[in-house]
Amino acid sequence: MVSMARKGLPKKYAKMGFKRGWKAYKATLRRPRKRISTKTRRNKPMARRRYAKKVYRRARSSGGSFKPYIDGALGGIAAQLGTKYAGAWGTGLGYSAVGQFRNNPTLKVMGGIAIGRQIAGMIPMIGGNGGGTSQGVFE
């Protein structure tokens, strides 16, 4: 007669009680784990950023708390030069260019307003004479 495997905990471990018996029984079944070396693995350091990116970033963020003043001064200079070389459109283009380069939303808006006024000056129904020679916004 072939004996069938009995279900449940072997008698030797059942005497210990349910919780302790199962714990001891499972400990005999476990295989010894491979020992992991105590030396910790270091992650690779992040790749260095390229110099060109640093220059690009610094050009748009330098100035600290004086950045708005510096940007405003540069915007005024660019608007004046733009007016000299591009006429009435130069004001808006000057402000927009500096706002874009220095990542300054205020100068971008000022440039947009100036350009919008020039466009509005070309439309007769809005109050322009159709010639497109209205004054710059910030003059």
Using the predicted structure, report yes or no on whether residue 43 has a pLDDT greater than 60.
Answer: yes
Using the predicted structure, report yes or no on whether residue 130 has a pLDDT greater than 90.
Answer: no
Residue 80 binned pLDDT confidence (cut-offs 50, 70, 90): very high
Using the predicted structure, report yes or no on whether residue 56 has a pLDDT greater than 90.
Answer: no
For the entire predicted model, the pTM comes to 0.47
Q: How far is CA 112 from CA 44, 86, 121, 126, in A?
A: 46, 16, 14, 17
In the predicted model, what is the mean pLDDT of the chain? 79
| Domain residue ranges in the chain | 51-126
Tell me which H or E stretch contains 90: helix 89-101
Predicted local confidence at residue 40, as pLDDT: 65
Q: How far is CA 27 from CA 19, 87, 121, in A?
A: 12, 89, 89
SS3 56: helix
Higher pLDDT, 131 or 84: 84
Higher pLDDT, 137 or 83: 83
Using the predicted structure, report yes or no on whether residue 62 has a pLDDT greater than 90.
Answer: no
